[in-house]
């Protein structure tokens, strides 16, 4: 092992997983990595670009699959610069950069193989119901994270979030009451509204929620009108202050309704908090690889589902 980790507390601090969970994930990661190596060998051999057999040549700093998995999880959990990452794993920053973008897709494939990665798209309501596997309740929310400030004015405005007053990207999250994330929407720029994102990915013309109990916050006002179904639970908005109503307040019955909604909605907040254990989603996102901002939140959500299941 490249890093000397003493106990389970350090395993969680450096990888987001316990040692037992890491070893369980490693089993599938090893299979995926070996399959990738074999496929690369056969591809190069067919093109007459390969002379050595699999495993031949110079050995890198990450000699074992455990080292490779630890490397990529460490990056996601702590989000260091490539200079710091290279120092931690005794390699040049450029090599740390190369290894990260080589190993991240393998971690993604590992979570797909384990069926831990949330669905990223539903084409029909039947696909959503199949993913729920008999669960009759779903909680909807959106998560926002800081994004680098572009030098291009148009791109800068696109990412500017008036609510956060910073540049962000956002994703829609659907979870069950046991905090398992079943759907993670694609990454939108920060100026998009939570409800607009939901309508773009689950068009109201289709009957997505007809037989489901749906819990949402006040960011989804209008969902009961736009979507089919009669089981939408949404908090009651406090009335605006006006001349006719100088002291607006909710009744005790309305407060009880809001409390009941909050007691269920908190589970999706816990799920979002779970994926944000990975600091790559907490600090301002600075990577420039195309679509990487979407891949990383998918991987983090898959790792959260994995931690719930193992």
On whether both 66 and 158 belong to a single domain, the answer is no
pLDDT of the residue at 48:
74
Of the pLDDT bands very low, low, confident and very high (cuts 50, 70, 90), residue 54 is: low
**Does 184 have pLDDT greater than 70?**
yes
The reply to whether 164 falls in a domain is yes
User: Long-range CB contacts (< 8 A, 24+ apart) of 86-94?
Assistant: 88/3, 89/2, 89/3, 89/61, 89/62, 90/2, 90/61, 91/60, 91/61
Both tokens of 101, joined, read 């973008």
On whether both 142 and 83 belong to a single domain, the answer is no
Q: Using the 3D structure, point to which of 91, 113, 135 is the last residue of a domain.
A: 113
* Tens digits of residue pLDDT in 131-172: 998 899 999 999 999 999 888 888 888 888 887 778 999 999
Both tokens of 121, joined, read 């798209």
On whether both 57 and 172 belong to a single domain, the answer is no
On whether both 274 and 247 belong to a single domain, the answer is yes
* Tens digits of residue pLDDT in 209-247: 988 999 999 999 999 999 998 899 999 998 888 777 777
State which residues form the domain around 38.
8-113
On whether both 35 and 104 belong to a single domain, the answer is yes
On whether both 148 and 230 belong to a single domain, the answer is yes
On whether both 242 and 130 belong to a single domain, the answer is yes
The reply to whether 306 falls in a domain is no
Q: Is the pTM of this model over 0.85?
A: yes
pLDDT of the residue at 50:
64
The reply to whether 270 falls in a domain is yes
On whether both 18 and 79 belong to a single domain, the answer is yes
Q: Using the 3D structure, point to which of 68, 85, 113 is the last residue of a domain.
A: 113
The reply to whether 301 falls in a domain is no
On whether both 35 and 57 belong to a single domain, the answer is yes
Of the pLDDT bands very low, low, confident and very high (cuts 50, 70, 90), residue 57 is: low
d(CA 121, CA 6): 40
For the chain, how many structural domains are there in total?
Answer: 2
On whether both 31 and 101 belong to a single domain, the answer is yes
The reply to whether 299 falls in a domain is no
* Tens digits of residue pLDDT in 276-288: 999 999 999 999 9
């Amino acid at each position: 092992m490249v890093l000397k980790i003493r106990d389970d507390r350090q395993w969680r601090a450096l990888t987001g997983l316990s040692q037992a969970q890491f070893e369980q994930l490693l089993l599938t990661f090893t299979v995926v990595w070996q399959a990738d190596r074999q496929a690369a060998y056969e591809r190069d051999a067919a093109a007459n670009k390969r002379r050595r057999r699999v495993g031949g040549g110079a050995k890198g700093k990450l000699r074992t699959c455990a080292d490779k998995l630890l490397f990529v999880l460490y990056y996601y959990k702590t989000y260091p610069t490539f200079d710091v990452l290279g120092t931690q794993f005794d390699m040049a920053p450029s090599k740390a950069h190369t290894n990260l973008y080589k190993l991240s897709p393998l971690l993604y494939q590992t979570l797909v193989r384990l069926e831990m990665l949330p669905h990223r798209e539903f084409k029909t309501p039947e696909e959503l119901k199949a993913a729920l596997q008999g669960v009759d309740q779903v909680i909807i929310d959106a998560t926002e994270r800081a994004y680098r400030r572009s030098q291009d004015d148009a791109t800068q405005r696109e990412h500017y979030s008036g609510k956060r007053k910073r540049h962000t990207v956002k994703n829609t999250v659907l979870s069950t009451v046991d905090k398992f994330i079943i759907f993670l929407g694609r990454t939108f720029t920060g100026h998009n509204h939570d409800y607009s994102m939901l309508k773009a990915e689950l068009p109201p013309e289709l009957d997505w929620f007809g037989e489901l109990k749906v819990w949402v916050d006040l960011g989804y006002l209008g969902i009961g009108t736009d979507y089919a179904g009669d089981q939408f639970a949404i908090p009651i908005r406090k009335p605006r202050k006006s001349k006719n109503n100088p002291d607006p307040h909710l009744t005790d019955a309305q407060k009880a309704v809001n409390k009941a909604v909050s007691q269920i909605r908190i589970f999706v907040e816990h799920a979002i908090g779970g994926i944000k254990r990975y600091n790559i989603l907490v600090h301002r996102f600075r990577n420039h690889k195309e679509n990487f901002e979407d891949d990383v939140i998918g991987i983090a959500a898959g790792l959260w589902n994995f931690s719930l299941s193992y």
